[in-house]
Amino acid sequence: TAWALTVYDDGGGTALYAGGGFPTVSHIAKWDGSSWSPLGSGMNGKVLALTSYDDGGGAALYAGGDFSTASGVAASKIARWDGSSWSPLGSGMDAVVRALTVYDDGGGVALYAGGVFTTAGGVAANRIAKWDGSSWSPLGSGMNGTVRALTVYDDGGGAALYAGGSFSTAFDSGDSYLAKWGCPAPPDGVTSVRPLPQPGAGGIRK
């Protein structure tokens, strides 16, 4: 099975990258338009999410999933490919990473990861976390269930990060299944989330 696709230029031209459960090239491979090639010796477990991000050292490919090594290098659930070698992102996560995206919350472009984990880089981060190129940080209190999808969207009020998954509370709010991060806090200052419509009101159903 292939679970993730993205496009990235490793310096040799734009190519398609695929991640998944396939063992032939150790769960991740590059398609240049005519043939497949491996990325080092790949991962020792499933790749479930892929994206590209520039942390200040140049654009790189980021992979998340259920692995503990990338080309033999210790990399817990998430790793960075610079076109020639894999490297970890701090100490990584304590459980599976299922989604990756890039977003600027006003403090600079950063990488966001979602999944099953409850720590990122040794810091408490419930199923969602931010990587600024050097360290991990949580997003509020996170979610009480798995984050399975992340993307950025501007609904007219400015670009915001959206998370979908199997959770019933998100960022200290009562949002279930889909939540928005990156909008102004309500008057009580408790949360950074604006609740989205709930089932029965044009919202998201399980």
Q: Residue 130's CB: how many other CB atoms inside 10 A?
A: 20
In this structure, what is the dihedral angle of CA atoms 190, 196, 198, 204, given to the nearest 10 degrees?
A: -130
Identify the bridge partners of residue 138 per DSSP, sorted by sequence position.
129
CB–CB of 178/203 below 8 Å? yes
Residues 26-40 pLDDT 10s: 999 999 999 999 999
Q: What is the pLDDT of residue 194?
A: 47
Q: What is the pLDDT of residue 157?
A: 87
pTM listed for this prediction: 0.88
Q: Residue 28's CB: how many other CB atoms inside 10 A?
A: 28
Q: How many residues does the chain have?
A: 206
User: What phi, psi does 139 have (nearest 5°)?
Assistant: -115, 100
Q: How far apart are CA 90 and CA 25, in angstroms?
A: 25
Identify the bridge partners of residue 104 per DSSP, sorted by sequence position.
109
Q: What is the pLDDT of residue 186?
A: 45
Residues 166-199 pLDDT 10s: 999 998 777 789 999 965 444 444 444 444 555 4
- For residue 205, name the pLDDT band (cuts at 50, 70, 90): very low
Residues 85-128 pLDDT 10s: 999 999 999 999 999 999 999 999 999 999 999 999 999 999 99
Q: What is the pLDDT of residue 4?
A: 98
Q: What is the pLDDT of residue 65?
A: 98
Q: Residue 162's CB: how many other CB atoms inside 10 A?
A: 18
Residues 9-24 pLDDT 10s: 999 999 999 999 998 8
Burial class of residue 204, CB neighbours in 10 A (0-12, 13-18, 19+): middle
Q: What is the pLDDT of residue 183?
A: 53
The sign of the torsion formed by the CA atoms of 77, 150, 14, 31 equals: positive
Q: What is the pLDDT of residue 197?
A: 53
User: Which pairs with CB-CB distance under 8 Å and at least 24 residues apart come from 53-61?
Assistant: 53/102, 53/109, 53/111, 54/109, 55/80, 55/111, 55/131, 55/132, 55/133, 55/134, 56/133, 57/82, 57/133, 58/82, 59/8, 59/9, 61/6, 61/8, 61/10, 61/17
Mean predicted confidence (pLDDT) in 50-58: 93
Q: What is the pLDDT of residue 69?
A: 98
Q: What is the pLDDT of residue 199?
A: 47
Do β-strands 128-131 and 123-124 pair in parallel, antiparallel, or remain unpaired?
unpaired
| pLDDT of 204 strictly over 90 | no
Q: What is the pLDDT of residue 175?
A: 79
